[in-house]
């Protein structure tokens, strides 16, 4: 198989956190990974409207560690880090359009978990999801052509958006859908 049709690098890995402020302090202040984006989101997910904050801490190669916190205590308990599995804990790998199509084709041809394989258009990226044999959710992500511009916008307001979200203002800042 051609390497050109395989994932290029880790895009991000995501987990649920109980405390975004403590998570930010640990990863940014202690570990040295900069907060590069904070997304305040509201989505219809898994049968209900979920309101959440999604932070990204950048790695030098452009990949990131990402963390979700939910505004609703019931959602937080449902997807709590102590519970397994959670769709908000997954591995995301960066791919180009051709590789994403090739992976999707191979999954379809193998009839690999067709009920658990789906695509989400996030606006700022397009993601193909499936599960590995262990039930770990995998995401294969293609960025928009203007991803660098979008990343610069989120980097510029990451701290302010996180502060706003923690203060209770959960207005979505995703204008790319």
Q: Look up the CATH number of the domain holding residue 126.
A: 3.10.180.10
Tell me whether residue 176 is in a domain: no
Please check the confidence at residue 83 and state whether its pLDDT lies above 90: no
What's the confidence (pLDDT) of residue 61? Answer: 94
Non-local (6+) Cβ contacts of 95 within 8 A are 6, 7, 8, 103, 140, 141, 142
Give pLDDT tens digits for 121-160: 999 999 999 988 767 788 999 999 999 999 999 999 999 9
What span, in angstroms and rounded, lies between the C-alpha atoms of 81 and 17? 7
Report the chain's mean pLDDT, rounded to a whole number: 91
Residue 135 is part of which domain span?
A: 7-166
Query: Residue 82 above 80 pLDDT?
Result: no
For residue 12, tell me if it sits in a domain.
yes
Collapse the DSSP code of 124 into the 3-class scheme (helix H, G, I; strand E, B; otherwise coil) and give the result: coil
Grade residue 88 by pLDDT with cuts at 50, 70 and 90. Answer: confident
Secondary structure element (H or E) that encloses residue 108, with its range: helix 97-109
Domain assignment present for 41: yes
- The answer as to whether 99 is a domain residue is yes
pLDDT at 154: 94
Q: For residue 85, is pLDDT > 80?
A: no
Alpha-carbon distance of 167 to 53, in angstroms, equals 12
CA distance 11 to 99: 14
Q: Give how many domains the chain has, as a whole number.
A: 1
Question: pLDDT-derived band of residue 81, with 50, 70 and 90 as boundaries?
Answer: low
| DSSP reduced 3-state for 92 | strand
Is residue 121 situated within a structural domain?
yes
């Amino acid at each position: 198989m051609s390497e050109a049709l395989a994932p290029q690098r880790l895009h991000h890995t995501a987990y649920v956190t109980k405390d975004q402020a403590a998570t930010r302090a640990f990863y940014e202040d202690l570990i040295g990974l900069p907060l590069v984006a904070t997304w305040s989101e509201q989505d219809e997910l898994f049968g209900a409207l979920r309101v959440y904050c999604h932070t990204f801490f950048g790695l030098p190669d452009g990949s990131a560690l990402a963390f979700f916190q939910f505004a609703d205590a019931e959602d937080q308990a449902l997807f709590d880090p102590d519970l397994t599995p959670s769709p908000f804990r997954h591995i995301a790998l960066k791919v180009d359009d051709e590789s994403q199509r090739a992976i999707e084709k191979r999954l379809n041809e193998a009839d690999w978990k067709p009920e658990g394989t789906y695509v989400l258009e996030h606006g700022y990226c397009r993601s193909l999801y499936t599960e590995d044999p262990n039930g770990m959710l995998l995401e294969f992500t293609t960025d928009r052509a203007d991803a660098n511009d979008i990343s610069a916008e989120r980097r510029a307001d990451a701290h302010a958006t996180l502060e706003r979200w923690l203060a209770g203002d959960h207005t979505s800042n995703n204008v790319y859908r």
